[in-house]
Copies of this chain bind each other. A is one copy, B any other.
Amino acid sequence: MARMPPPASSLLWRSLRAYQIYGANTDVGKTIITTILCKAAHKLWPGERTAYLKPVSTGPADAADDRCRHIRRFAPDIATKTLFQYDLASIPPDETILAEISRYAAHQAHYGPGWLFVETAGGVHSPSPAGSTQADLYMSLRLPVILVGDSKLGGISQTVSAFESLKIRGYDVETVLLFREATYGNHSYLADYFGQRHDIPVRTVPEPPKLLEDAVSDAAALSRYYDDCSGSAEVQETLSHLDARHEDRISRLESMSAAASEKIWYPFTQQKHLTPEKIVIIDSARGDYFQTFNSQGTATSDAASSNALLQSSFDGSASWWTQGLGHGNPSLTLAAAYAAGRYGHVMFAEAIHEPALAVAETLLAGLKNPRLKRVFFSDNGSTAVEVAVKMALRASRLRYGWGPGDALGVLGLQGSYHGDTIGAMDCSEPSVYNEKVEWYEGKGFWLEYPTVEYSQGVWTVKIPDGMRDLHAGPSNVAYPHLSSIFDVESRESRGEGRFYEHFIRTTLERFAVQGRKFGALIIEPVVLGAGGMLLVDPLFQRTLVKIVRQSAHVFGNTAPGTNSVADDRTWTGLPVIFDEVFTGLYRLGRFSAASFLGVEPEISVHAKVLTGGLVPLSVTAASESIFQAFASDDKSDALLHGHSYTAHPVGCQVALESLKEMQKMEARGDWDWARTAYQRAETESYQDLSAPDHTREGLAWSVWSPELVSWVGGLPTRFVGGVWALGTVLAIRLISSDGSTGYKGSAARAVHAALLQGRVNADSDRSSEPQWNVHSRVLGNTLYLMAGQKTTQETVKGVENLLREVLENTSNRT
């Protein structure tokens, strides 16, 4: 199958000190200063190769190579190259420019020790041929920067602003160089400014000689100038500094995993077996990819080593399910920085600020749930769930008149997981996640439920063992495609939910007999995440909510008739909490996962993608009737919960930016490529299977292609148990050869390892081309991959191809 071009990696080789030259403005002397650096590098390291690269020349075609000619003339020992001319008929896309730079730099690195100076065009934000600005275009290369300051009138401002534009994109500006100019003396202000605030050295070179009319004299003067400058102490100090910084960067990368394995206590990790070499060193991240340190690249610490030290690694867990709008997204960065500049953090109790109010409004409007009226902010999914449960329990206790001594539980699904704090843990049944936690005490009852999977050509709703004795039909029900399973209204009208109703009612009636007390129904709508990426039959969850709402007689001693409260404002039976921390906000393709079920909770919990994947923030949205349960003349009846950074402006501003951007993407149809692929596949499937004609198409779609799902689901059943894809999530249940299951299942490990290895069939010329791999997380025997909302079809295709290779190989070995 066709291989996709790997994404552009950040550039780092031990052998090559590569620096990028940015200008604080156009016409500040970038080329002159670069020429000086080239000459000086050659003087100081005469045995090494020094190269100059101009990726895109902004001059007219006939002058395109001017800069290279200039350098060749005055620094004849330097290798020079211009990659693209700006006025070429065909405008090179950004990816092509990056790929060519990578290729050229790799080529230089291969020669052994040397220097590479890459000169940008114009100022930091001058547009590239395709329109993005220099600073955005080159971000992912993460070349350390030499900023050429502006010595002219106004140049202080230009230099500081240029620096800030680079800094907020994660560039490391290693030094500032500018002309020593007497009238304005910018260098002296800048030396203090950058020295004191950023510990960045500012050094100068004399201004170049005035242009002489006689070309020969002019060239001679310039030649003398270059000779003098390249031998000056300041320039030599600059190069020594850059040389040392290069060494420092690599040594730090080399030592980080050892330091981390000594000083970090990792979350959810058995560190006894976490040897340093297993720790992934993330140098930076951009879009869908980490840039990770390739420790094999440093197998030799030979200064001549030309192994690429950084590689692109697809963030296959979407950074623990948080990632939405891509790593290093400049819009989110600016939103965060704006709020930091405008507010810092301001205390929230009895106060309001614009980002908090705006995000609350946007979220309530976006959820389209008429019950939800209020937003409570906290810091993560776990705290937001605790808030939700505190809300629901209080409302139930007051409604049903329970006393402080009455033990209240939650009603939930088996294998649910709602977070790591004790209160959130207590909402789940005992499992590997919590049963060894000393203060864990599961409070509630957790039902079995049917799951959905694709395997061998059919989508199946699998009825669990415990439900079967109530079930007359077959234990597995087949559907032509996922959308037909998600067409819950049609299925309900066809009576498919009646068995679920019966099962749920029977279960609930038992509680009434046992006298058990419940204060909330809490479920993760559609998908149980940490529980193993289980896709639950949406009709079951829908039915569960409905029956619970009809069952006030089971849950409390209300007078007859109060069961009949059935408007969409007041809760009945139990307050319903949807934990959409993982499943909401477009993770499954829709703003709210509740919309898949067609029922509306009283309390909705959101986090993770809420900030587009940048900083922690969570919300618990609630109905007015839940809110009113806390109203009283006694202050201590209030919801006494509130972390110090509640509704921190940075998080709120980023969330606002993220939600609006994702809503725009939906409105613009940015995911139509994925949606239509599924609709097409569904239409085709009608021809194969006689699907009921009232099934609506396109209810369920994924960025992971229907072809992939079909292919994976067709792998031998001894290897793949089932697969599903929805929204940005792909989950593959593998079969463990040793029979291990659950959290300790081992089947996915081989696939995980092969994805991390990257391409499985190494070509002989592999070392010269950029490598990439896929960083994934497994949940027992389930391997999942998760894209962001900005992940392109091309990227998905590339990952799918690698995944196919890996599964094919692994499957054959099994």
Contact = CB atoms under 8 A, between A and B. Distances in A.
B350 A326 contact: no
Contact of A346 (B171, B262, B315, B616): B315
Nearest to A374: B265
B315 A260 contact: no
Given A168-B338, A267-B377, A320-B349, 20 more contacts: A25-B25, A122-B154, A124-B157, A164-B168, A167-B337, A168-B168, A170-B338, A263-B364, A265-B620, A267-B641, A281-B353, A285-B342, A285-B346, A320-B642, A320-B646, A333-B340, A334-B337, A340-B614, A345-B613, A382-B383
In order of increasing CB-CB distance, the 7 nearest A-B pairs are A267-B642, A170-B342, A123-B157, A422-B423, A26-B154, A170-B341, A327-B344
A330 B420 CA distance: 34
A120 to B, nearest CB: 10
Measured as residues with beta carbon below 8 angstroms from the partner, the interface class of chain A is 35 or more
Given A267-B639, A638-B271, A156 B126 contact: yes
Nearest to A622: B265
A360 interface: yes
B382 A282 contact: no
Interface in A15-66: 25-27
Contacts of A122: 154, 156-157
A651 to B, nearest CB: 7
A380 B341 contact: no
Given A170-B339, A361-B259, A352 B280 contact: yes
Contacts of A673: none
B280 A350 contact: yes
Given A259-B361, A272-B633, A348-B266, A322 B386 contact: no
Contacts of A429: none
A259 B352 CA distance: 10
Contacts of A25: 25, 154, 157-158
Interface string A265-294: 111111111100011111111000010000
Interface string A147-159: 0000001101111
A86 to B, nearest CB: 13
A154 B614 contact: no
A443 B646 CA distance: 27
A268 B642 contact: yes
Interface string A421-433: 1111010000011
A350 B27 contact: no
A360 B642 contact: no
Contact of A341 (B153, B317, B330): B330
B344 A644 contact: no
Interface stretch (A72-80, A388-396, A475-483, A566-574): A388-396
A615 interface: yes
A341 B123 contact: no
Contacts of A418: none
B126 A640 contact: no
Contact of A165 (B153, B161, B389, B644): B161
Contact of A422 (B264, B342, B426, B645): B426
Contacts of A268: 349, 638-642
Interface in A614-653: 614-616, 620, 622, 627, 630-646, 648, 650-651
A221 B390 CA distance: 73
Given A376-B267, A644-B320, A644-B322, A282 B343 contact: yes
30 contacts: A25-B154, A25-B157, A124-B161, A127-B156, A133-B156, A157-B162, A161-B164, A168-B168, A265-B376, A266-B350, A267-B646, A268-B349, A269-B642, A271-B630, A279-B351, A282-B343, A282-B351, A285-B344, A315-B346, A315-B347, A320-B348, A320-B349, A320-B646, A322-B347, A336-B337, A420-B640, A422-B426, A423-B423, A616-B616, A635-B743
A438 interface: yes
A777 interface: yes
Contacts of A614: 340, 344-345, 648, 650
Contact of A125 (B126, B156, B197): B156
Contact of A263 (B285, B319, B357, B420): B357
A583 interface: no
Contacts of A382: 383, 421, 643
B393 A651 contact: no
A408 interface: yes
A3 interface: no
Contact of A170 (B290, B343, B638): B343
Given A263-B364, A345-B615, A636-B436, A26 B133 contact: no
Contacts of A443: 439
A608 interface: yes
A371 interface: no
Nearest to A360: B263
Contact of A342 (B326, B328, B627): B328
B390 A437 contact: yes
